A and B are shown apart, each in its own frame.
Chain A
Amino acid sequence: MLHRYPKRVAIIMLVLTALVATFPLWGEAAFGNQANFMLEKLTFMLILALFAMSLDLLVGVLGLVSLGHALFFGLGAYTLALASPDFSPASMWWMLPLVMCIAACVGLLIGVLVIRTKGIFFIMTTLAFGQMLYYFVSTSRFAGGTDGVFIMFRPSLAIGKSTLLDLDNPYSFFYFCLGMLLIGYLFLRWLTRSYFGQVLDGIHDNEQRMQALGYATGGYKLIAFVISGVMAAIAGMLAAMQYGFANPAQLGWHTSGEVLMMLILGGMGTIFGPILGAFAYEILLFTYEHMTTHWPILMGLTIIFAVLILPRGIAGLIIAPPWHRKRHMTANTSEVPQGPPSAQSVTNSKEG
């Protein structure tokens, strides 16, 4: 699953990245006085893309479906909100490590408990832990209860006294989020293609076989769980920076369900798919919200039909478009005699 993609994937992703990155140049022409609002939306989509991508490491690569991933998203948001000083901006240089550190510790603690479970048990226990934190913050006075916590000042990114990037400026913040997403993407791409990623892929295919080969699979899964949580927490921190508050709704199980939806809409196990999924989900949501006040019906039906009709998501359409599928299959069979069946064809036959 993590092997080579057709060249069009790289081309499409590069074009989209260029399009997004140049938004400040053409946004005003396209949206007029709505441009600032659109920039804000776009920034939030970048943040959600990072969030969805982090979950792909668990769900797509490792095959562990988590329904409590919003826990880390909210954790990042609350860490920033509670650790920020009241009357001055916090420094990004220690806020980012703090968020990562806390997320890693919580990830380890929960991971040790949930990683021993599989399949349905993993879904239910991650869900339950997510709800635990949800109830904890929504009933705790120090965390502002159901109102959440407001962040008076965005953290600053400065060296000494000179500001490196003014995060209060929506354009700079937009590029900051884009940068974080790109770093996250490159990191995950590297990780999944590394030795570590190969082991995760092996665990996904057959955990017992990996154990028989002498791998301590639990340790690998735990590390992946922690990494995934840390990345989600960074996304949560960015979300809290953007809107200036941390709210219990950010870590409820509905958020976890939505991020899973972005993953499936985009195509899991592909790392780039969830980015497309996050954008597609938000655009659909935006459209539906403008069409009717009863938009959850439309969103719900979209989810149901996406699951029924498009199980491999947008990424699946790009990697193997329906009009290419026949040629793709014949190309595959001609490659087979040259060597032992690749992991690619194994996973294909399993899913097909």
Chain B
Amino acid sequence: MDLAFFSVQLLNGLQYGLLLFLIASGLTLIFGIMGIINLAHGAMYMIGAYLVYDLTMRLGNFWLAIVVAIPIAIALGLIIERLFLDTLYKRDHLYQVLLTFGMILVLNEVQRIIWGGNVHSVPVPAPFDSSIQLTSNLRYSVYRLFVMGVCLALAGVIYWIIRHTRLGIIIRAGAVNRDMVEGLGINVRTLFTLIFSAGVALTAFAGMIAAPLTSITPGMGDSILITCFVVVVIGGIGSIKGAFWGAIIIGMATTFGSVLIPSLASMVIYLIMAAVLLVKPRGLFA
């Protein structure tokens, strides 16, 4: 493996890892603060990708499609939280698992009704549909660099909100002791709606910006969901920092795994998870 090839894999791993972080951060936030395990999280990623595909076809512009799709995703999150999750907060995780499992069936089938079973793709949008010369023998896709930049920026924003704002203090306190926060006169109900919608928006947005990089297929949310579970388990549930490092580890392991040991590639991430659990049963940053 020469240096240029190695660097490309390194960048690909980083880019995939950062994208995983966007999805996993929503998952871990929703669990950490609301205590809800949301299996339908991956389906939202899929919906995001399909929305942007559909709107790009209609409007003829990828960027416009994203601008229109984000409010739709937020609205979807609001509706789901208000209609279904409301009754589940005080119940056992089992019921949350099942309800959101039922939601996956419905969402996957709705996708099939609206967009069919075919594989779709979105062209890489202008001005990023080219590659640039990074070093003398290394060219890299500008769009991938752009995705990395956006994900890093969002990671920074999330970190800043949680560490340095009043809302962040409430979120952190809510994750530790919900009743206490409620006792201080903060409307936890509104907070939950906000967090859930933000989580859904993050994962749907990840689906949107990933659309030009991946093929858009039915059920694409299911596999990414399981990967994100691994990320969250490795990092420690409820920890944003854990989600970040877990996502980077898994992104790198997936990319290098498929190049170096193709026969074991699909299992590598689970082997890493088993190893982490052996040493730290609650994850690296819990």
Interface residues of A (CB under 8 A from B): 59, 65, 67, 113-114, 116-117, 119-121, 123-125, 127-129, 131-132, 135-136, 139, 253-254, 257, 260-261, 264, 268, 294, 296-297, 299-304, 306-308, 311
B3-11, B167-175, B201-209, B225-233 - interface stretch? B225-233
A300-B105, A300-B109 known; A308 vs B87 contact (CB < 8 Å): yes
If A121-B282, A131-B226, A260-B94 touch, does A113 touch B277 (CB 8 Å cutoff)? yes
Residue contact B226 to A253, C-beta cutoff 8 Å: yes
Q: Is the CB of B233 within 8 A of A128?
A: yes
* Chain A binder among B49-57, B120-128, B158-166, B263-271: B263-271
Interface of A: prevailing SS? helix
Q: Does B95 lie at the interface of the complex (its beta carbon under 8 Å from any beta carbon of A)? A: yes
Find out whether the CB atom of A117 lies under 8 angstroms from the CB atom of B281.
Answer: yes
B253 contacts chain A at the CB level, 8 A cutoff: no
Given A120-B237, A121-B233, A253-B226, A131 and B102 touching (CB < 8 A)?
Answer: no
* Cβ distance B273 to chain A, nearest Cβ, rounded Å: 6
Given A119-B93, A124-B229, check contact A302 B102 (CB 8 Å).
Answer: yes
Count CB-based A-B contacts (< 8 Å). Answer: 121
Nearest to B35 among chain A residues (CB) is: A120
- Assess the A121–B281 pair: CB atoms within 8 A: yes
Q: Which B residue's beta carbon lies closest to that of A113?
A: B277
The bracket for how many chain B residues form the interface is: 35 or more
Instruction: List residues of chain B with CB within 8 A of the CB of A135.
Output: 266-267, 270
CB of A240 to closest CB in B, whole Å: 23
Q: Find A294's partner among B84, B107, B109, B226 (CB 8 Å cutoff).
A: B109
Most chain B C-beta atoms within 10 Å of own C-beta, residue among A119, A123, A129: A123
Give Cα A304 to B273, complex, Å: 31
Q: Are A257 and B270 in contact (CB under 8 A)?
A: no
> B267–A304 contact, CB under 8 A?
no
A-B contact pairs, 18 of them (CB 8 A): A59-B94, A65-B93, A120-B31, A123-B93, A124-B233, A125-B233, A129-B274, A131-B226, A132-B267, A132-B270, A135-B267, A136-B266, A260-B97, A264-B94, A294-B113, A300-B106, A301-B106, A304-B102
